[in-house]
Amino acid sequence: MPDSGAYIILGALLFAVGMVGFLARRNLIVMFLSTEIMLQGVLLNLVGFDRMYPSVDGQVFGLFVLVIAAVEAGLGLGLVVLLFRRKGTLDSEVWATMQG
């Protein structure tokens, strides 16, 4: 049975790098780019699992993940522009108004 382990580990690595970027960076645009990197990791995972069975389900799932990513990028970047207009900076720390 063909094995998909290499793709799983690669997907996990990309997901981890994206998660670090999302949690540690303060620039809103870089946070969004890190989210997209996480989605790339998920895509590699989905297509990697296709090797175990003779199916294209993983690729169809991946296509819908792509649709969701496009939708999220469009809406999210519109919100980023609005947030930038409000405060004049792309720093996400200016929105951290909950104390303690």
Partner 1 sequence: MTTGLVYILYVLFAAAGAAVLLAMPRPDGGYVRSGFVVGVGALAGLLALCSYTFMAPHASNIFFYFFAAVAVLAAGRVVTHPNPTYSAVYFGLVVLSVAVLLVMERAEFLAVALVIIYAGAILVTYAFVIMLAQQSGAAGPDVRSREPFMAVLVSFVVMGAIAGQVGEVNRLPANLPTVQTAPAVMADVPVGSKPTREVGNTLAVGQSMFDDYVVVVQLAGLLLLVAMVGAIAVSRKQIPVEEVGPPPPAPGTIGRQVPPF
Tokens of 88: 């004049």
User: Site map for partner 1, 61-100, x if CB under 8 A?
Assistant: -xxx-xxxxxx-xxx-xxxxxx-x---xxxxxx-------
Contact status, residue 18 vs residue 48, Cβ threshold 8 Å: no
- Sole binder of partner 1 in the list 52, 95, 97, 100 (CB under 8 A): 52
Closer residue to partner 1 (CB): 13 or 99: 13
Tokens of 35: 């989210």
Judged by CB under 8 A, the chain residues 9 through 48 that form the site for partner 1 are 9-10, 12-21, 23-30, 32-34, 36-37, 40, 43-44, 47-48
Q: Give 16's contacts (C-beta < 8 A, 6+ positions apart).
A: 41
Tokens of 15: 């997901």
